[in-house]
Chain A
Amino acid sequence: MKKILIVDDEKDIVETLSFMLKAKGFDCICAYDGESGLNLAKSSNPDLVILDVMMPKINGYKICRLLKFDNKYKNIPIIMITARSQDEDKIIGEETGADEYITKPFEFSDVLEKIQKYLG
């Protein structure tokens, strides 16, 4: 079973998203702030990370950079969730190195499509 790490300080988003992903046969682990998210990403060996941008302690951009510039973790696909549709360059570009991004509010079908691109 593929393991997906969801990191977002909005518990409702994490809960609904993990419910839907579990229903599609994924194993989900969750973190509710940047710091524990980063620790879990390093310790639990996920197959994919869904990462919110605005979070307490360490923001999503930074986590993404830390993972993508570490040879040990750089192959883990990262999908970023953002409330700003304008930041495409910042997220996808060299600055953070994320693989995909989705804008709030998102359709689950879009998220699933993007996950399947990497874990399909």
Chain B
Amino acid sequence: MTKIFLLLNQDESENTLKPILEKNSFETMCSVDEIDDILVQIHNFMPDIILIDNDFNNCEYVIRQIKSNTKNQNIQFILLLNNDKKTGFMNLVDGLIVKPISEDILISTLNSHLKIKKSLDRLYENNKELSRSLYQLNVLYNTSSQFAGTLNTSKLYDIMIEAMEKTLSFDISSVLVYTSSKNAIFKLNTIHTPAQNLIDALKIRSILNYKNVIENSSIQIGEFSDIEVIQKVKQARSNKIYGIESINFDSLFAPIKVGEDFFGVVELFRSTPFCSEDVTCFQAITHQVALPLRSAKLYEEISITNKKLEKLEKLKSEFVSIVSHELRTPLTPINNSLEIVLSGQAGVISKDAQNFILMAKRNIQRLSGIIEDLLDLSRIQAGKLDFKYKIVDIAPSVELLQKTFLQVASEKNIKINLDIEEKLPEIYADTRRIEQILTNLVSNSIKFTPQDGTIKVSAHTVDADEINFSDLIMPYIKPNGKYIKITVEDTGIGIKKEDIPKIFDKFSQIESSLNRNACGVGLGLTITKQLVDSHLGAIWVESEEAQGSKFNVILPLVDKIKMFEMDLSRILINNEDTGIIRLEANKDLNLINSLKENKLLNLSRLSKEIEIEEDGKIIYYTFIPKITSSSFEALISTIKEYCSKIKKNEYDIILSKAHSKNDGVDACDIIKILNISKENI
């Protein structure tokens, strides 16, 4: 029924208007009270239309007061005005009826304003729903980007609950998720403190829901033996407590799952009823969280598999190493026995017997060579190969090749020509490893070069710009600066184009169908590449089938900084867990200085903290997230905080300057911290 609130003079309302209105089945209410009372009455009565007489006490003020409440914004105001009067607030009211009142005009005016009121109400409701949906959409949108940003399961649930809190303003949320087949976590988020019996009831309810869902699907899950309860109360200080009866609040329930992957159940309770939009929003959030949960689960599985693989890889290396050691021992008496027989000390042997024993001895040598290669490879892969780096001249190593291969090469009448630059500059290298690289390449060339061929070995200085890197397979570093380039060029069978990319792969031996008159396990080139990589060099091959091959190796000229970084990265590989690099390079001040100037940023990629000892002072360089505040005090406190993390030492003081560069470590400031012992001050 339409409600009309009358603000008229006593007699007028009681005697004339009220009967007319009631006759036309309007519900009415009259008031002549003070404004405060009127507001209360309107609040309770909730009228559609207010009829107010121009002569009503403080008429304009009363209208303004009523309108100031936004809840009343749709109420239609109709002013009753005497024929001979004028009013100054026509803009405040929606309609006007001139006295004396005609019943027809009154009723038709009321009816048309009623239509306006109803339309406004509908509009208002729609608008409210729209803005609510818009808000929910906004939250959903933000939530989905938050979901996408993490693979941490527990964080994902927190984001989910937060999103539900924002969009659905629940009183209580209960989430039950399983962590492993036997354990589960029960998360309870409430506005006010819940009573213990409510907690227990909700827990049992969640478990029942959980089992229900599982029974309805094909998923098998073990019984929960242990449920951890995590409870969060938003307004813990308020006196209000949710009793057991809160379980009768309106509730929303959903399983958290995607496809066959089931993660848990979530239920919300709210003292006010949920509407259909709330249900949609709730479902959207539970769907949204399930996908990243699955990713997180997969990620976890991959991490575990990865760890297993790493362990396996390590085991494999150890296995190879042990087996190789074991193989060498029996080879020794075999070799000795053959040698005894060959020497004639155990009796005279025929010429043929001698040849066969020599053949056996050659193959023992080959076998031990293969074992050596296997060992090297397993050591390289385990990061256990020791390098004894020195500044060396490698020219003698290249020259040595002619002597080493003299006999083998002459058997096939292969010439080995050397072309070494005079006064070849020094490099920072392990001579024995360089010799291994050269020997591997040359013996490989001899293996694949037919009778009467030629092998040319050359060593020259080159600039990185002169090198055509399109030939370079998987460059270890982007070369720059000066290098020694060693090439081993043969007139052998060459390599097919499609085989070139895999030539440095483990165990790959290029099949050369008819011309295959050489054999080997093909570990040599793999080891060679690893050794070259360890020297911060690069290796690549140029070849054409039947035209011969040209292997190129470049090794960087002595660059202490580079070498130092190389040492450093090796240290870090061996001490993965320590975040601090300690440099005891106090003997070489130039090195430290150039490090400070140029290389700190690069080092910071390797470690968060660097410690350099210099003149008895320890200087820490620490890389901390960008300090946004510009105040000096803030800077100091941030530094102190980081210092306490580095070491518990007191820092006597601190800092040269904070600077940052856009060099891959952006969002980092570098802080230099001096730790000066007290005696030195």
Residues of A within 8 A of B (CB): 10, 12-13, 15-17, 19-20, 23, 83-86, 89, 103-108
Contacts and interface: CB of A to CB of B under 8 A. Distances in A.
A89 B432 CA distance: 14
B343 interface: yes
Most chain A beta-carbon contacts within 10 A, residue among B333, B335, B386: B333
A107 B375 CA distance: 20
Chain B's interface: helix, strand, loop or mixed, by majority?
A: helix
B332 A13 contact: yes
A22 B340 CA distance: 11
A106 B333 contact: no
B567 to A, nearest CB: 17
Interface string B316-344: 00000000010011111111110110010
Most chain B beta-carbon contacts within 10 A, residue among A12, A23, A83, A108: A83
A84 B345 contact: no
Contacts of B385: 86
Interface in B25-78: none
A17 B337 CA distance: 9
B430 interface: no
Nearest to A84: B325
B331 A105 contact: yes
Nearest to A12: B333
A53 to B, nearest CB: 10
B345 A105 contact: no
Contacts, number: 58
B426 interface: no
Nearest to B345: A23
Contacts of A13: 329, 332-333, 336
B364 interface: yes
Contact of B329 (A16, A83, A89): A83
B368 interface: yes
Leading 10 A-B pairs by shortest Cβ distance:
A16-B336, A12-B333, A105-B331, A104-B328, A105-B332, A83-B325, A83-B328, A105-B335, A104-B332, A23-B345
A20 B339 contact: yes
Contacts of A103: 328
B328 A16 contact: no
Interface residues of B toward A: which range? 20 to 34
B328 A19 contact: no
B674 to A, nearest CB: 36
Most chain A beta-carbon contacts within 10 A, residue among B330, B331, B336, B343: B336
A30 to B, nearest CB: 14
A120 B364 CA distance: 29
A104 B329 contact: yes
B372 A85 contact: yes
B24 to A, nearest CB: 110
B482 interface: no
B379 A23 contact: no
Contacts of A15: 333
Nearest to A16: B336
Contacts of A84: 325
A86 B375 CA distance: 10
A19 B345 contact: yes
Contacts of A85: 372, 375
Contacts of B345: 19-20, 23
